[in-house]
Structure 1
Amino acid sequence: MKNKYGIPKKLRKHFCPSFSSEEDFNGEKKDTKAFISTSKRWPAGAMIQGIFFARFLPQKGIKVIHQSPPGCIVTEPGVDKPRLFDFETMSEYIIPKQAFCNRYVTSCDPENKYRILGHPVCIKDEKYTRNEFMFNFCIVIGVEADKIPYEAVVRRLATTFTEMEIQNEFLSQEDISNSQNRRSIAALLEIIKEDLNNYNECMIPVGTSLSPFPKSMNLIIADDANTINMKLFPIYKHPPPVKAWHVPISKMKFSSIIDDTWDLTMKKVILQIDGIKDVRRIAHDADVALDLAKIAVQHLLYYDSIIMLDLFLFGNIYAPTPDVDDFLEDKEGMQDECANYVYINGPRLSNFYLCRLFTTLCTSRTIKEWLKLHMEQGFPVLNFVDVRRFVQFGVIKGLIYRVHKYAVSNTVLNGIVSARNVGVEGGEQLQRYADGCHCFDQITVEMNLADVKIMDQLRRFPKGNVEIIYR
């Protein structure tokens, strides 16, 4: 289940700003929790479970020559561990028919637990038995793991070892190659697996190689070219479009990572991100064109460095989500986390007040009316709580959601249906916003109008022509 901002419930505490003690949005020291870095990390399930080298042997068929860890694909003497899958069942997909060779191939085991990623290669040459040499270097990952980052690794393994085989028969004459101070294939597989799992990259010099002369004239030369260089890159989804009325909130301390090599526009934009300003205001204060500011913010959004929220105004309406039950039950100490973040003055109040504040939000009450309600009941919220922080905490954690306001004009809708440009007497300025697709936040930012002035201008439409929709 995802909240409005696309953050899954299970990952919300990892991919949302955690509130711990550092600095607040304005850089002021505060004995509360501030946002920490939540840069994307590789989950444990995405690790390489096994890697192996398989060949087609003319007399024996398809066989696994080397594997790491030992015994993960086929049984080995002295190794007592379960295999990841039945290799005999999957062998026809490991070394497939020639029509599937020299291309990236993925398959899942019958139990749908593991995914085998490979790039079977067929080298045609008269020097080989049957005039061809077929092999495959495969990586095994969990079926739930993202296979996209590993595609480049598998392709690189295939191309690298293909070139090494063409140059000096590194694979087909493995015994001779190992006698020339070169790393064995088994050692290379072990290093590749460990380095990719631990560091997400590897750079392995193979060693020395044989010169491309006849076997009677073979010379040992340095093999600087045959170095295996690979790196795993996380794949990020393309971020949604950035709107001028969105408010970016940083998830890391940019001041600790920014340097002189950064783009000038990006540096200007980052200095203006404080969790309060919308993108339009950021562009204005940074003296940057709005389109360039949007691109910079979208770049930060792509790398999961910020999240985007709605513009906070006291005329906004918020309502609880079903996940507010997690807050009421104080799961994972959420109540104390919120209290440390939102209380600003006076004594530390009971967490009961925070539960009361969340549960009294509703779809028919603005923040201003909500504050007035509590003041009438004897609880001056503004004396103890930073309302903006309170709302942002609730939205980020998925406890509350924003109820947007839209204007819908019958005349404008009729003009859209009939494909005619119909003018609305008295409502020319807001006519293009009265189709039910433009929220009041957009009108506020683009027209520089407060909510009250927007309603005043909508009243200039013919009577009964405009309806306000909340959703």
Structure 2
Amino acid sequence: MTSTNSIIENFPIPSAILFLEFTSLGPTLLHQAPLGYLTDEQISRIQNFVFPPLSLFDRTLTLFHENRKYIGHAKCILGEQYKRNQYSFNCLLCFDGNLDVFPYHAVLTKIANEFSIYEIEEAFFSSPYDSDNFQSILNAILHGLRTVGEVNLEITDCNWLFLKVLPTNTDTLLEPIDSKSVPVIQHNIRTITHTELDLTIAEVLSHMDEIRPLSSIAKDSDVSLKEIGIDVSRHLQYYNILQGFVPIFQYTNAYLISPRIPLLLNSTEFQGEMLTYLRRDFDLQLVCINEVIRLFLSLKHAQSLYQLYRLELNEMLLLGQTALLRRIIEFGIFKKIIIPLKEYLYLSPSVSSRLSGLLERKEDFVQVDTLCWSQGGSHRDFVLQILEENEYTTLYV
């Protein structure tokens, strides 16, 4: 079900909102809007999701069950005033059908955090309260989300609740090149708070080290490659965590300068943005913007930045400072200053048995990165060990 309002057109809209407490009887449904959306029996079938182990509290969890999608964010407040010295609750947003509910993750997280504040400051739920008034609050939240995608609601004399569903601009989403694409993190991964991320996102993020490609991350995190490439990547971009994707063979790929190169030549703001990007890992004294510009402008046909750096411009950096070169390549790709080219080989009819054994099928053109990846070796090793035995022509596309 999607909204017909132009503000949130094509958005999935919630069918219900639920409020539950964990009591001596287990998960107890106290309020729901609309009334009668779920029965106690239906709640019992998802009780392990409503109140998961404490290690999964304060995380946004998603469940698809019996053709309904649920988003939950359980909270636990500690205090001697409570039975068992703690008070646990969960507020669920419910959707009919297996819908993409990603835009509502941040909304539900804020609802859970705000309700926690109300309880801590005013014992809003644990002390006797006006049940009808809270039911009207849930009705107003659901109505606002369903009609205009936002809520401006007075909860108490001192507390207001402001919510807004923010769509993700799919036109600006970065898509991975392929399974060999390497995700690059915007910030130091150790500074990212995982409590605002759902469990799958946090698990995938823990395996992103800016070295491993998507296929390796998918295997280690036990998440499908398709889900990582689309859903997880979009989520990380939404939270400004993911910078983008780069090819796994950065140094040995060939690049072409794009029509955007004048930005780097003439815009001091753009130059400053590049230095800021490099500053996160390196001493700026090692970086000269003029040498970076000269590096890009010196690119020749079928010549990689690594070759250019090693053969012509190694005075730009200290020898062995290839990590800085990697950052320079990343910035060039993200800002479309340089365009990575795929290297293909046109093989002679007399291809050696060693090489033909690596090919899944006989082809005239073979992508070098694919062969390197299948053998787990570097581009340089592949050329030295295999291609020297064969006649071939290189084509860059």
> What TM-score does the superposition give when structure 1 sets the normalisation length?
0.43
SS at match of 1:431: coil
CA contact (8 A) 2:368 2:379 kept: yes
Q: Which amino acid aligns with 2:379?
A: D
Aligned to 2:208: 273
Are the structure 2 counterparts of residues 435 and 294 from structure 1 closer, same or farther at C-alpha, using a change threshold of 3 Å?
same
Partner residue of 1:361 out of 284, 291, 299: 299
Aligned to 2:394: 468
CA distance in 2, matches of 1:349, 1:450: 27
Shift in Å at residue 405 of structure 1?
0.8
Aligned to 2:10: 148
Aligned to 1:330: 267
CA distance in 1, matches of 2:328, 2:224: 31
Shift in Å at residue 382 of structure 1?
4.2
Q: What stretches of structure 1 of length at least 5 have no aligned partner?
A: 1-103, 105-116, 119-138, 157-162, 164-198, 204-220, 413-422
Partner residue of 2:340 out of 402, 409, 427: 402
User: Cα deviation per residue 1:354-375 (whole Å; 9 max; x = unaligned)?
Assistant: 2212211233322332013434
Matches within 5 A, 1:291-440: 292=224, 295-303=227-235, 304=237, 305-306=241-242, 307-331=244-268, 333-342=269-278, 344-345=282-283, 347=285, 350-375=288-313, 378-380=315-317, 382=319, 386-409=324-347, 425-432=353-360, 435=363, 439-440=367-368
CA distance in 2, matches of 1:236, 1:336: 26
Are the structure 2 counterparts of residues 346 and 335 from structure 1 closer, same or farther at C-alpha, using a change threshold of 3 Å?
closer
User: Cα deviation per residue 1:181-207 (whole Å; 9 max; x = unaligned)?
Assistant: xxxxxxxxxxxxxxxxxx999x9xxxx
Say whether 1:248 aligns with 2:248.
Answer: no
Say whether 1:457 aligns with 2:373.
Answer: no
CA contact (8 A) 2:251 2:326 kept: no
Partner residue of 2:370 out of 422, 442, 445: 442
Q: Which amino acid aligns with 1:148?
A: N
Matches within 5 A, 1:30-429: 147-149=9-11, 227=140, 228-230=143-145, 231=149, 232=165, 234=167, 237=170, 240=175, 243-251=178-186, 255-259=191-195, 262-263=198-199, 266-282=201-217, 287-289=220-222, 292=224, 295-303=227-235, 304=237, 305-306=241-242, 307-331=244-268, 333-342=269-278, 344-345=282-283, 347=285, 350-375=288-313, 378-380=315-317, 382=319, 386-409=324-347, 425-429=353-357
CA distance in 2, matches of 1:398, 1:302: 20
Identity among equivalent pairs (%): 15
SS at match of 2:300: coil
CA distance in 2, matches of 1:348, 1:235: 38
CA distance in 2, matches of 1:241, 1:320: 21
Shift in Å at residue 308 of structure 1?
1.6
Shift in Å at residue 260 of structure 1?
9.7
Are the structure 2 counterparts of residues 299 and 468 from structure 1 closer, same or farther at C-alpha, using a change threshold of 3 Å?
same
User: Cα deviation per residue 1:425-456 (whole Å; 9 max; x = unaligned)?
Assistant: 44332323763776323322222122234334
Shift in Å at residue 268 of structure 1?
3.8
SS at match of 2:386: helix
What is the aligned residue count? Answer: 254
CA distance in 2, matches of 1:348, 1:380: 6
Shift in Å at residue 337 of structure 1?
2.7
SS at match of 2:345: strand
CA distance in 2, matches of 1:239, 1:348: 30
Matches within 5 A, 1:14-25: none
Shift in Å at residue 470 of structure 1?
1.1
User: Cα deviation per residue 1:377-419 (whole Å; 9 max; x = unaligned)?
Assistant: x54464778111111111111111112211234669xxxxxxx
CA distance in 1, matches of 2:361, 2:291: 39
SS at match of 2:340: strand
CA contact (8 A) 2:179 2:225 kept: no
CA distance in 1, matches of 2:316, 2:365: 38
CA distance in 1, matches of 2:253, 2:197: 40
User: Cα deviation per residue 1:163-189 (whole Å; 9 max; x = unaligned)?
Assistant: 9xxxxxxxxxxxxxxxxxxxxxxxxxx
CA distance in 2, matches of 1:342, 1:261: 27
SS at match of 2:211: coil
More helix by share: 2
Shift in Å at residue 347 of structure 1?
3.5
CA contact (8 A) 1:346 1:384 kept: no
Structure showing greater Rg = 1
Q: Which amino acid aligns with 1:322?
A: P
Pairwise CA RMSD of aligned residues?
A: 4.5
User: Cα deviation per residue 1:108-141 (whole Å; 9 max; x = unaligned)?
Assistant: xxxxxxxxx96xxxxxxxxxxxxxxxxxxxx567
Q: Which amino acid aligns with 1:431?
A: L
User: Cα deviation per residue 1:299-343 (whole Å; 9 max; x = unaligned)?
Assistant: 321323522211144322222111011110025x12233234437
Aligned to 1:178: none
Aligned to 1:21: none
Are the structure 2 counterparts of residues 436 and 260 from structure 1 closer, same or farther at C-alpha, using a change threshold of 3 Å?
farther
Q: Which amino acid aligns with 1:258?
A: H
CA contact (8 A) 1:244 1:445 kept: no
CA distance in 1, matches of 2:338, 2:301: 11
> What TM-score does the superposition give when structure 2 sets the normalisation length?
0.50
Q: Which amino acid aligns with 2:228?
A: A
Are the structure 2 counterparts of residues 375 and 362 from structure 1 closer, same or farther at C-alpha, using a change threshold of 3 Å?
closer
CA contact (8 A) 1:424 1:431 kept: no
SS at match of 1:390: helix
